[in-house]
Chain A
Amino acid sequence: MNEIIAMILAGGQGTRLGVLTENVVKPAVPFGGKYRIIDFTLSNCVNSSIYTVGVLTQYRPRVLSTHLGVGRDWDMDRKNGGLFILSPYAASTEGEWYKGTAHAVAQNIDFIDQFSPKYVLILSGDHVYSMDYNEMLDFHISKNADATISCIRVPLSEAHRFGTVITDNISRVKEFEEKPKRPRSQLASMGIYIFNWPLLREILIKDSRDENSSHDFGKDIMPNLVSQKAIYAYEFEGYWRDVGTIDAFWEANIDLTRSMPALNLYDPNWRFYTHSAEMPPAFFGKEAKILNSLTSEGCIVNGTAESSVLFQGVILGRGSYVKNSVVMTNVKIGENCVIENAIISENVVVGNNCQIGIGENIPNEKYPNIYNSGISVIGEYVIVGDDVRIGKNASIGNFLNMEEMKVKEVPGGKNLRVDGLA
């Protein structure tokens, strides 16, 4: 018997990350030089001594499953418990795609039952944070709660983007408001819950029979529960980011390059583990200039990098200048390029004399709610070619060969896809 087991929801697409999540599920998006987003949640589990973890996958799980393997990189390849990837399945009478977060867990009741846990911790694989779940569990136990929801204090002006909770003076939740227009509380739900398993089991079964429910923890389960059961809000004080937009994703990466960032990757007592490629240490050439940046193993830096995150195996050519950018694994950048405010996905090849992130900051014409913060995004495996100019808020679809397409310019706010510029 395990006292607590964790279920990580890792099936969401994350539509607001544009081309970054076209081919990979959001938890598998690379982050912070060598990690993928789910590493933070998984490492928090391991560091909190939670070694039985189910990962619920659905949208494009290939990269995620390859990354996780049997969980060996997180010390989760264990005799008892360990890491389990739980995909949607077909059965004789039922079997279907996960219809919502609660439905995903409900479909795996048998899985949880085999460990007969006292508590179940529901987590999201989309967040970047460091958190000791034991403190939240202690809170849950000390309040004798039926369920506990982890919250973070946000400015009132920001609260409309979150699900907020309204509590009384002993932290008991009185009301839920999902993305309120006029927020009454600063406490935003982090999408992290602890339930007593017998209770959760019962309500999941009830919810899955309810045809009017959208089977979502935040929308259906919690608001219905609040009047009947003792739900408490645990206030988390620490670093937590939902990197759900291009801007937030970029910002959270660039934050790491500043001095004393809130997310400490170097804490020997709270390490973040990942599945990383085996590469030699980073090499800096004679002409390398580097300021306020992260560089990873396998990097070969001969140009200049400023306030940027260079992932593993990035090659930066002579005379090239990269500023405020996120450059992912195995990207090759030629000579004399200028790249500013860009996110360049894995395995992109940029030729010589390219300019990326130039011109006016006009929002994207086709996807104004995705590319709107002045950041240019290039999808994975794109071949950019020589002398190419790419504007602000532009996006280049995955796997495009711009050399073959003979595209030398993508103006600001435009998108390059298989069928051409739009």
Chain B
Amino acid sequence: MKVLGLILAGQKGENLGKLTNRRASAAIPVAGKYRAIDFTLSNMVRAGIRKVGVLTQYNPRSLMDHLGSGREWDLDRKNGGLYILQPYVSETSQLWYRGTADAIHQNITVLRRGEEDYVLIGSGDHIYNIDFTPLFKYHIATAADITILTKSSAGYDPAMYGTVKINENNRITYFVEKDKENPGDMINLGVYFMNKKLMMDLLYSTVPNGKYDLVKDIIIPNINGLNIMSYEFSGYWRNIKKSLTEYKKVNMDMLNPDILNELFSPQRKIYTKLKDLAPPKITSTGSVTNSIIADGCIISGRVTNSVLFRNVNVKAGAYVEDSVIMEGSVIEEGSRVVNCILDKNVTIRSEKSYVGYEEPLVFEKWQVV
């Protein structure tokens, strides 16, 4: 069984403010050394998918830099491998992607040419670790047309997600997008598995008619006509781009050993671009509790309840609490950082104090304050 992976990674992620001013949300750093897209990409590769198309649009520079030739995911291959699918200009069209379905439709050649039987569509913004192979088997065993990954909506705000209801056979009978009034009892995790030919038929019959959204224009109208099944996922799953608080919470979730072990299980690894930095060093004046510290860090101050990315330097007398500090940031002597998100390469000058109250304080890339 051959599967083509498609990852939707073109969005800005409006809710993340300054963090996505210069990068797509799929490229946002998360959990100390990863980028959001690593999770879906690694999940696909581990499920035996050898050809993955990444659909990009909003400022893809940092995403491209991260993905490179796909070598870290074993996707630098003679056959298949990593395809970056960007909007392009041609004889007949010069359009940005107008929606998720349109994005795939504009790259329909990849579907038509390939020898794959199935397509697995995922999103670059989701943080989870799953083995897709049981889903593939389930799809075939239930003779589904489309299988959608779902999860009980407990703990999620239904107004922010697509929600579904299912019947006793797990068939989806009800599907609404971000509906506060009448939500379903499961949320849609944005992972769709279907026969490639069916995908192409559905795209050919909708996109040319000015319908561009995969969920609204393809899945929901076919809820009765097609056999759309729900496959329930019970593990940890978060969408990184819902809000800044959510983004911070996802990082803080890594301080929970159960979540950490689930996401980074040695049996189901998440791959990312390696940088070969030296092991983090805690000096004689440093102390670290309940935190994650990535490679290359030098900690001479106090760090507690925080996630530090690579190459962060916390100088003597500095204090970091309840914060997310991205790669290359420096917190100078005697300053205090509480409930903040520092983007890459931020410098906090000595003897300064920054405290976020209701929302975390966010510092943009390269800021010096």
Contacts and interface: CB of A to CB of B under 8 A. Distances in A.
A265 interface: yes
Contact of A297 (B254, B283, B291, B294): B294
B289 A285 contact: yes
A265 B278 contact: yes
Interface stretch (B85-93, B137-145, B219-227, B268-276): B268-276
Contacts of B286: 290-291
B82 interface: no
Interface stretch (A207-215, A244-252, A275-283): A275-283
B103 interface: no
B296 interface: yes
Contacts of A295: 279-280, 282, 293
Interface in A314-340: none
A259 interface: yes
Contacts of A285: 257, 289-290
Interface in B166-208: none
B292 interface: yes
Contacts of B278: 32-34, 265-266, 272, 294
B62 interface: no
A300 B272 CA distance: 20
A271 B293 contact: no
Interface string A107-136: 000000000000000000000000000000
A21 interface: no
B39 to A, nearest CB: 12
A296 B289 contact: no
B287 interface: yes
B274 A280 contact: no
B298 interface: yes
Contacts of B95: none
Interface residues of B, number: 38
A399 interface: no
Interface in A267-306: 271-274, 276, 278-297, 300
A280 to B, nearest CB: 4
Contacts of A289: 287, 289
A7 to B, nearest CB: 24
A32 B279 contact: yes
A282 B293 contact: yes
A73 interface: yes
Given A290-B282, A292-B283, A281 B292 contact: yes
Given A266-B296, A272-B278, A293-B281, A280 B288 contact: no
A73 B276 contact: yes
A289 B288 CA distance: 7
Task: Identify whether the interface residues of B are mostly helix, strand, loop, or mixed.
Answer: loop
Interface residues of A, number: 38
Q: Counting chain B CB atoms within 10 Å of each CB, which of A33, A278, A289, A311 scores highest?
A: A278
B272 A294 contact: no
B337 interface: no
A294 B281 contact: yes
A296 B284 contact: no
Interface string B335-369: 00000000000000000000000000000000000
A292 B282 contact: yes
B264 A280 contact: yes
A296 B295 contact: yes
A207 to B, nearest CB: 39
Contact of A281 (B274, B289, B295, B298): B295
Given A266-B296, A278-B272, A259 B284 contact: yes
Closest 9 CB pairs of A and B: A265-B278, A33-B279, A281-B32, A281-B294, A280-B264, A296-B279, A294-B279, A284-B288, A286-B290
8 contacts: A281-B292, A283-B254, A284-B288, A285-B289, A285-B290, A292-B282, A294-B282, A296-B279
Interface of B: 31-33, 254-255, 257, 260, 263-264, 266, 269-272, 274, 276-284, 286-296, 298, 308-309
Given A289-B289, A296-B279, 20 more contacts: A33-B279, A256-B281, A259-B283, A266-B281, A266-B298, A272-B278, A273-B276, A278-B274, A280-B263, A280-B292, A281-B32, A285-B290, A288-B288, A288-B290, A290-B282, A291-B287, A293-B282, A294-B278, A297-B294, A311-B279
